[in-house]
Structure 1
């Protein structure tokens, strides 16, 4: 998911549209920083224990953790996304995929060493999510929450694209934020309030809170960027004819500005662990 999909309230309609284009989602969506999985695992110190992934999608983050030998239980609510996830992790026998919502999953007395969510935490019921994570983790177990927001580097191109968006009533698209609008610290996302640190501190059952930012520039040619947009929920919920029109107009703008778009890609990571039992 992109920053454009991080709504302040849980929107199940948007959260369930990705399976319509599971293959496109898998091909077009960017992954996460190369160092992230190793850093999370170093913090969690699993020592062979299983990690749980919330809303694994098609495995954008899963494969990085699996490649490092991590035993994984991946929970994905959309059957179509789960099917692609199973295919993408077929070479990792230590990965299990469970179709269903994290809110409906029962750990059945098991306690895990790590629970992580890759751009999916904001889809989990905000009234229950910290309880659910705490109940799934062993004392000292870690939670890792991360997102990959991005900003447009060329302000003139951004302004032209935003003008197209406005004509179609879209205001939270992947190119809607300038790279310069992001702050210097993890979670400072140009006014989007999704960073979990304050919520976690209020909960009080977690300790050793940390935040890490990774950064890299990425270029999308017109075709690849249109594929990314076509997988975004704000575009998916548009009527098909209207969606095709906005994508066509967006392509015209991109082609008029050199045939693509350069983005500043961030990966912002939040870490915490369950307080040890006294």
Structure 2
């Protein structure tokens, strides 16, 4: 599943929202200034790469899917892109100052990811995990979308909003763990929202006929609400320090 997004790499790059500048500022505050270097895990097409390059440090982006990595290289020629997994990547001698992971930490091996990150950081280094939670600003529209998706696929698990914080704390690896939360309400037109839906892994795992059923149903719902959807976009940032 870590490589399923490559099937829609360009759509992913167009439809997925980026991350607020507050994420970068919070990372800088925790570090006390720019890091010597940054490693981004599961960088995808670079939805967080530009924000991380704004830290003013050399950046190595780790992305296992070659199709996603190709878009990433085109978007950010100033980043060093390694087409590999976190588990296969070797940290440089002495470690790195910041390891960042945007909406990809759940794809890393849960049995080893925290210890692997700790081992790759230099003393005083920071792990930054951040991700979006997609909710809806209009309750009636939210209820209609939830009913459709649950009726078609009731097996999709609901992650707790604080799962990465709990994961970092219970790992026992970190001296100091903190969570920051940010909020936005972007409005997506129907075409953009349907494209966004097609970049989510629960959607991509379905057969083509099920995907069509989902898209047709969502299209009808958005038509009932004026052809757009107001998202309640919640961004979580978890910072862990050695």
Do the two structures share a fold, i.e. TM-score over 0.5?
A: yes
1:39 and 1:130 map into 2 onto residues whose CA distance is 20
1:273 paired to 2:226: no
Counterpart pick for 2:58 among 60, 68, 71: 71
2:164 and 2:145 map into 1 onto residues whose CA distance is 30
* Preserved CA contact (<8 Å) 1:222 1:259: yes
User: Counterpart in 1 of 2:226?
Assistant: 258
Q: Displacement of 1:110 after TM fit?
A: 3.7
User: Counterpart in 2 of 1:180?
Assistant: none
User: Counterpart in 2 of 1:169?
Assistant: 153
User: Counterpart in 1 of 2:213?
Assistant: 245
Residues 1:136 and 1:261: Cα distance change in structure 2 (over 3 Å) = same
* Preserved CA contact (<8 Å) 2:34 2:57: no
Q: Displacement of 1:172 after TM fit?
A: 4.3
Q: How does 1:38-117 map to 2 (within 5 A)?
A: 38-45=25-32, 47=34, 49-90=36-77, 92=78, 95-117=79-101
Kindly report the root-mean-square deviation, in angstroms, between the aligned alpha carbons of the 2 structures. 2.0
Counterpart pick for 1:216 among 156, 177, 184: 184
Output one character per residue of 1:56-109: Cα deviation in whole Å (capped at 9) or x when no partner. Answer: 01111111111342211110111110111111102x3xx211011101111153
User: Counterpart in 2 of 1:4?
Assistant: none
Residues 1:162 and 1:144: Cα distance change in structure 2 (over 3 Å) = same
2:146 and 2:5 map into 1 onto residues whose CA distance is 23
* Preserved CA contact (<8 Å) 1:46 1:113: no
Tell me the secondary structure at the aligned position of residue 175 of structure 2. Answer: strand
When the two structures are aligned, how many residues end up with a matched partner? 242
Tell me the secondary structure at the aligned position of residue 193 of structure 2. Answer: helix
1:233 and 1:203 map into 2 onto residues whose CA distance is 26
Tell me the secondary structure at the aligned position of residue 35 of structure 1. Answer: helix
* Preserved CA contact (<8 Å) 2:115 2:173: no
User: Counterpart in 2 of 1:31?
Assistant: 18
User: Counterpart in 2 of 1:151?
Assistant: 135
> Which structure 2 residue ranges, 5 or more long, are not aligned?
none
Q: Displacement of 1:167 after TM fit?
A: 3.9
User: Counterpart in 1 of 2:104?
Assistant: 120
1:133 paired to 2:120: no
TM, length-normalised to structure 2: 0.92
1:223 and 1:131 map into 2 onto residues whose CA distance is 41
Residues 1:155 and 1:171: Cα distance change in structure 2 (over 3 Å) = farther
* Preserved CA contact (<8 Å) 1:165 1:171: no
1:203 and 1:238 map into 2 onto residues whose CA distance is 33
Output one character per residue of 1:226-270: Cα deviation in whole Å (capped at 9) or x when no partner. Answer: 010011111111122321232022101111111111111111111
Q: Displacement of 1:154 after TM fit?
A: 1.5
* Preserved CA contact (<8 Å) 2:35 2:98: no
> Which structure 1 residue ranges, 5 or more long, are not aligned?
1-12, 174-189
Tell me the secondary structure at the aligned position of residue 67 of structure 2. Answer: helix
